[in-house]
Amino acid sequence: MSVQTAQPAAGLATPAYPPAQHFIGGRWEDPTSGKTSPSVNPATEEAHTQIAAGGAEDVDKAVRAAHDAFRGKDWRRMAPSQRGKILWKLADLIDEQRANLALLETLDTGKTLFDSSKIEIPLVAEIFRYYAGWCTKIEGGVVPLPGNAMGLTLRDPVGVCGLIVPWNFPMLLATWKVAPALACGNTVVLKPSEKTSLTALWMAKLGSEAGLPPGVLNVVTGPGSQAGMALVRHPLVDKISFTGSTEVGRMIQKEAAATLKRVTLELGGKSPNIVFADADQKAALRGATTGIFYNKGEVCAAGSRVLVDRKIYDQFLEALKADTAARTVGPPTDKNTRMGPVCNKAQYDSVLAAIEKGKAGGARLVAGGQSLREKFGKGFFIEPTVFADVDPASPIAQEEIFGPVLSVIPFDSPEQALEIAHNTRYGLAAAVWTRDIGKALSLARDLRAGTIWINAYNLYDPGLPFGGFKESGFGRDLGKDAISAYTESKSVWVNLD
Minimal distance in Å, beta carbon 477 to ligand NAD? 7
- CB nearer to ligand NAD: give 202 or 411: 202
Contact by Cβ (8 Å): 399, 240: no
**Binding-residue total with ligand NAD (CB under 6 A):** 30
Binding segment for ligand NAD (CB under 6 A), chosen from 58-66, 142-150, 164-172, 380-388, is: 164-172
The Cα–Cα gap between 255 and 240 comes to: 11
Q: What is the dihedral of CA 109, 114, 116, 118, to 10 degrees?
A: -170
Contact by Cβ (8 Å): 471, 134: no
- CB nearer to ligand NAD: give 42 or 269: 269
Binding segment for ligand NAD (CB under 6 A), chosen from 62-70, 166-174, 273-281, 484-492, is: 166-174
Q: Does 167 interact with ligand NAD (rule: CB under 6 A)?
A: yes
Minimal distance in Å, beta carbon 258 to ligand NAD? 13
Q: How far is CA 420 from CA 238, 279, 307, 423, in A?
A: 39, 19, 8, 5
The Cα–Cα gap between 286 and 291 comes to: 8
Which positions ≥6 away from 28 have C-beta within 8 Å? 19, 21, 22
- CB nearer to ligand NAD: give 173 or 409: 173
Give residues 408-467 in contact with ligand NAD (rule: CB under 6 A). Answer: 428
The Cα–Cα gap between 30 and 28 comes to: 7
Rg, Å, the chain Cα set: 23
Q: What is the dihedral of CA 266, 198, 175, 87, to 10 degrees?
A: 160
Binding segment for ligand NAD (CB under 6 A), chosen from 57-65, 99-107, 158-166, 431-439, is: 158-166
Burial of 342 (0-12, 13-18, 19+ CB in 10 A): buried
Strand partners, 142: 152
Contact by Cβ (8 Å): 266, 468: yes
Q: What are phi and psi of 448, to 5 degrees?
A: -95, 85
Minimal distance in Å, beta carbon 271 to ligand NAD? 10
Give residues 23-62 in contact with ligand NAD (rule: CB under 6 A). Answer: none
Q: x-or-dash pattern for ligand NAD, window 464-493, by CB under 6 A? A: ----x----x--------------------
- The dihedral sign for the CA sequence 117, 123, 126, 127: negative
Q: What are phi and psi of 296, to 5 degrees?
A: 60, 25
Q: Does 168 interact with ligand NAD (rule: CB under 6 A)?
A: yes
Give residues 263-292 in contact with ligand NAD (rule: CB under 6 A). Answer: 266-269
Give residues 191-220 in contact with ligand NAD (rule: CB under 6 A). Answer: 191, 193-194
Q: Of the listed 194, 266, 383, 471, which one is catalytic? A: 266
The Cα–Cα gap between 117 and 111 comes to: 10
Minimal distance in Å, beta carbon 291 to ligand NAD? 14
Give residues 226-255 in contact with ligand NAD (rule: CB under 6 A). Answer: 228-229, 232, 243-245, 248, 251-252
- CB nearer to ligand NAD: give 369 or 467: 467
Q: Of the listed 105, 300, 383, 471, which one is catalytic? A: 300
Q: Is 300 a catalytic residue?
A: yes
Q: How far is CA 274 from CA 7, 317, 415, in A?
A: 38, 13, 12
Minimal distance in Å, beta carbon 363 to ligand NAD? 21
Q: Does 224 interact with ligand NAD (rule: CB under 6 A)?
A: yes
- CB nearer to ligand NAD: give 334 or 400: 400
The Cα–Cα gap between 404 and 302 comes to: 9
Q: Is 126 a catalytic residue?
A: no
- CB nearer to ligand NAD: give 119 or 252: 252
Minimal distance in Å, beta carbon 162 to ligand NAD? 9
Interface residues with ligand NAD (CB under 6 A) are: 164-168, 173, 191, 193-194, 224-225, 228-229, 232, 243-245, 248, 251-252, 266-269, 300, 400, 402, 428, 468, 473
What residues act catalytically? Answer: 266, 300
